[in-house]
């Protein structure tokens, strides 16, 4: 009889471990630690991750790191001490965040990175990242076709310390550099900032008034570049290319002001991260370290496929 009781208790424990609840009967908790909530793009990322975690039966709480790795470290400490079972992370710094992810790993808390990576393949359980490189390969191909393989162009880079900046630039150049008729007359950083990109292009136009196109590392800078071209009376002659799929650029493509962009999907990355946490709790361990999320090329031809967002 004692033997049967023992096995019944074991089976009860096993059954209990298959739920989304912790030992105290409460749902497992998932922390969403995001680099900043000052940018609407990251708000969508954080809210989508939290919503998906909740829909899967978990408690979810969003932490704002305010682009500060030290604050991110505090959030990690809190999440670990407060008994969060998984962390969905949008890191503040590809290198600086490694130590935080390592702390969670040491505490047996899985971390799933969203959109931005950490420069280590040993600490996060999995990293779900926009395929910046391939997205910019597609933009580069469109760029070459639009310019018929010849012309002068400017590249406005994002923040030089950001991996996404270089992945985008490398993808673009992997195509464009094969065509000797296309000459890059200037390459400068606009720090992913609309106003800075406008200033940068204004000064470049002083030295190189004869450009045919501008490739920008994100959509905010594409809008700034377009403004600079309008001010210089060149908006109709110079094609502008961005990256992100931001509403204002999608609308500008619709209005034939911007040539093309790469549409990222923060919702897909966020939902996938939450779903990965769910499957982790259910026992899966063989996650790919980095999973690319497709970026869709949006041009003046394909923009009809995408619903216009409600204008305020």
Q: Which residues bind another protein (CB under 8 A)?
A: 94, 117, 119, 121, 128-129, 131, 133-134, 137-138, 140-141, 144-145, 163, 166-167, 170-171, 174-175, 265, 268, 272, 286, 288-296, 302, 305-306
The least distance separating another protein from the CB of residue 155, rounded to whole angstroms, comes to: 13
Nearer to another protein, 164 or 212 (CB): 164
Angle between helices 266-281 and 40-55 (to 10 degrees): 30
Nearer to another protein, 205 or 249 (CB): 249
What residues are paired with 182 via a beta bridge? 151
Tokens 């008034």 sit at which residue?
209
Nearer to another protein, 64 or 142 (CB): 142
The least distance separating another protein from the CB of residue 309, rounded to whole angstroms, comes to: 16
* Residue 228 neighbours by CB under 8 Å, 6+ apart: 197, 198, 199, 201, 202, 205
Nearer to another protein, 85 or 265 (CB): 265
C-alpha to C-alpha distance for 292 and 130, rounded to whole angstroms: 6
Nearer to another protein, 131 or 248 (CB): 131
Closest CA to 275 of 125, 114, 52, 126: 52
Give whole-number Cα distances, 275 to 109, 135, 293, in Å.
16, 24, 14
Give whole-number Cα distances, 137 to 19, 134, 176, 186, 293, in Å.
44, 5, 9, 20, 14
The least distance separating another protein from the CB of residue 171, rounded to whole angstroms, comes to: 7
* Residue 32 neighbours by CB under 8 Å, 6+ apart: 46, 49, 50, 53, 60, 61, 62, 63, 87, 88
Neighbours of 151 (CB within 10 A): 20
The least distance separating another protein from the CB of residue 120, rounded to whole angstroms, comes to: 8
C-alpha to C-alpha distance for 102 and 84, rounded to whole angstroms: 15
The least distance separating another protein from the CB of residue 295, rounded to whole angstroms, comes to: 8
Nearer to another protein, 44 or 232 (CB): 44
The least distance separating another protein from the CB of residue 289, rounded to whole angstroms, comes to: 4
The least distance separating another protein from the CB of residue 3, rounded to whole angstroms, comes to: 42
Nearer to another protein, 242 or 266 (CB): 266
């Amino acid at each position: 009889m004692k033997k049967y009781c023992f096995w019944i208790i074991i089976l009860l424990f096993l059954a209990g471990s298959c739920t989304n609840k912790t030992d105290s009967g409460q749902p497992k908790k998932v922390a969403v630690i995001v680099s900043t909530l000052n940018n609407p793009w990251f708000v969508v990322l954080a809210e989508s991750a939290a919503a998906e975690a909740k829909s899967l039966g978990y408690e979810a709480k969003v932490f704002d790191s305010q682009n500060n790795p030290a604050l991110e470290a505090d959030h990690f400490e809190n999440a670990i001490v407060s008994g969060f079972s998984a962390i969905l992370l949008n890191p503040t710094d590809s290198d600086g965040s490694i130590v935080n992810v390592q702390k969670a790993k040491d505490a047996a808390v899985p971390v799933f990175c969203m959109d931005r990576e950490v420069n280590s393949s040993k600490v996060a359980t999995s990293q779900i990242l926009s395929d910046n490189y391939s997205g910019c390969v597609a933009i580069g191909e469109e760029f070459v076709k639009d310019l018929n393989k010849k012309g002068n162009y400017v590249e406005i880079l994002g923040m030089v310390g950001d991996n996404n900046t270089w992945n985008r630039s490398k993808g673009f150049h992997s195509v464009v550099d094969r065509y000797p008729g296309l000459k890059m007359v200037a390459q400068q950083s606009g720090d992913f900032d609309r106003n800075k990109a406008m200033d940068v292009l204004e000064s470049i136009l002083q030295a190189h008034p004869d450009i045919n196109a501008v490739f920008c590392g994100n959509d905010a800078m594409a809008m700034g570049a377009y403004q600079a071209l309008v001010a210089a009376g060149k908006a109709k002659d110079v094609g502008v290319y961005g990256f992100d799929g931001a509403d204002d650029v999608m609308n500008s493509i619709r209005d034939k002001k911007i040539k093309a962009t790469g549409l990222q999907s923060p919702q897909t990355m966020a939902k996938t991260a939450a779903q990965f946490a769910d499957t982790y709790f259910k026992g899966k361990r063989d996650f790919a370290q980095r999973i690319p999320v497709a970026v869709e090329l949006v041009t003046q031809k394909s923009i009809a496929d995408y619903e216009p967002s409600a204008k305020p």
